[in-house]
A and B are shown apart, each in its own frame.
Chain A
Amino acid sequence: MSHPMAKTQTLASVDESSLLELMRQGDEHAFRELVCEFNEPLLRLAMSHVPTREIAEEVVQATWVGVITGIDRFEGRSSLKTWIFRILVNQAKTRGVRESRTLPASSLGDRPTGSAVSPDRFRGTDSLWVGHWTSHPIHPSEVPGERLVADETLAAVDAAVQRLPELQRQVIVLRDLHGFSPSEICELLGVTEGNQRVLLHRARSQVRSALERYLVSPEREGGR
């Protein structure tokens, strides 16, 4: 059973080859589309690599210049998107900051219990059904379709994403909003595969939890 929505594809993943072709011909509008699509995630990613927003903006600007002057040489061995983000990471590194490392658990933004769902949602050892749901989570099909994708619902999801610890936010945005693969994310953020899995697990769990609270009581959760 699945809910009634299709996943939105990014502009670049749908039209990448035509955008690339147009850009090679000097088409400004194609380049403009690219900038509008990626400037924000590039900036966000830059900010996780350098100490200030000002430097991050410089890094992004340098990245776009690199794209402009390098587009003729782009061979298409990776996706256009990956190529652009790699330029950004290289630019950030020339400003001499964070290196790849395995993160200590504390920096992964752990909840006190480290669990995806609060333990009080499950029956305890005093029950025959220990470890089972005390009450079932609401199934998305029980919510009217138009409400699932309403602006207010997206606002609640957005608010939950904004509340995430930095790296968890980076990972869920890169994965779900921008469609990067786990290995690309590891490369861009300088984290291990294990880190990436844990970060994504925690990020999606937190946002799911907020979404569920919103679906059950919209007036209380809202865009808080």
Chain B
Amino acid sequence: MIYDPIDCQALVELANDYLEDGLAAASRTDFELHLATCKGCIAYLEQLRLTSDLVSMLPRSRPDEGTLDQLMDEFRRRGPGSGDPQE
């Protein structure tokens, strides 16, 4: 008889805490015991990891040129090496 204290429906509610190392030891053990024999939950966890990794790859937009120019001016005028006394 396999000891399986949590089912898939319960696991998915804990999956993110597991990835974030936020599960207490006892819960983590139950989690991993279930995972050891459940292909569905293994796949789910991998999907969750993939989600986080894909978000890390999202493109970022650049500030517009006008804003950038203003800031570069400011940096030249008042930044390190400008000769301006630092506040």
Contact = CB atoms under 8 A, between A and B. Distances in A.
B54 A154 contact: yes
- Residue of B10, B13, B50 with most partner-chain A CB within 10 A: B50
Given A35-B68, A139-B42, A131 B47 contact: no
Interface string B36-80: 001111111011111111111111111100011011101110111
Contacts of B42: 1, 139
B79 A71 contact: yes
B11 to A, nearest CB: 9
B68 A32 contact: yes
B58 A35 contact: no
Given A23-B79, A65-B74, A131-B10, A139 B51 contact: no
- Residue of A40, A133, A140, A212 with most partner-chain B CB within 10 A: A133
Interface residues of A, number: 67
A28 B76 contact: yes
A117 B47 CA distance: 12
A5 interface: yes
Interface of B: 7-10, 12-13, 15-17, 20, 22, 38-44, 46-63, 67-68, 70-72, 74-76, 78-82, 86-87
